[in-house]
Amino acid sequence: MNINLGHTSHSGIKRDHNEDTYGIDLEHGLFLVADGMGGHDHGEIASALARDHILSSIKNKTPIKQAILNANQEIINNSMEKPGDLPMGTTIALMQIKKNSYDCAWVGDSRIYKFSNNELIPISSDHSYVQELVDQELITASQARSHPHRNVVTQALGVTDNSEIKVSLSNGKIKAGDKFLLCSDGLTEEVDDKKIAEIMNKPLSPKEIGDQLLIQALNNGGSDNITSIIIEFD
């Protein structure tokens, strides 16, 4: 199958710089989004370290989970050398394509979606305080969107020791017509799943879909950095 690709990253309206980053390695079928933690020092350094270390490690045959754990330790080590009271941190969402299948991994609340048969299917599940409340049926998914602690993540690279960090994994099959979205929470904070599905269902190129999602997020407030990768399989 052929791949059509779109990607975009924007600082948003209310942030003065962009701590998100993304990486693409078509030769090895790798796609990655990382969201540096804005409440911590050097978030843009953490996301860049995660991107470079993980892509390089997987390219050199390191398994995905181990590559993420190694990147986590690399960020922790670098954080100790930086000034500031708080460690730098980043979320990560990663997808690797192999023939007609995919492997995904994530830490934090950057997300991965599959759009197939006119349906938006979440692949990832947030490592966040509100997601834990939803999983325990203490609040609804709708209530989570407006919860005052909705941006509190429970896992992140650089702030969680390797002995305690949770790297979530998922895999599946790909068929012609499938689309995938990797994005930072700056998109999903402003654009709900229903609207994302509506935009991804339009007869647009991946680049146009990414632009539409970005415009929607900015129009809805643009409160955070906004990054997305859209992959379509012909």
Q: What tens-digit pLDDT sequence spans the chain (234 residues)?
A: 799 999 999 999 988 889 999 999 999 999 999 999 855 558 899 999 999 999 999 999 999 999 999 999 999 998 777 666 667 899 999 999 998 999 999 999 999 999 999 999 999 999 988 888 877 888 888 887 888 787 788 999 998 889 999 999 999 999 999 999 999 999 999 999 999 999 999 999 999 999 999 999 999 999 999 999 999 998
Q: What is the pLDDT of residue 135?
A: 78
CATH number of 3-233: 3.60.40.10
Q: What is the pLDDT of residue 39?
A: 56
Q: What is the pLDDT of residue 38?
A: 59
Give me the phi and psi of 95, to 5 degrees please: -135, 135
Q: What is the pLDDT of residue 162?
A: 92
Q: What is the pLDDT of residue 152?
A: 85
Beta strands in 58-147 (DSSP E): 90-98, 101-107, 111-116, 119-122
- Any idea how long the chain is? 234
CB 158 within 8 A of CB 107: no
CA distance 64 to 87: 24
Q: What is the pLDDT of residue 28?
A: 95
Q: What is the pLDDT of residue 81?
A: 72
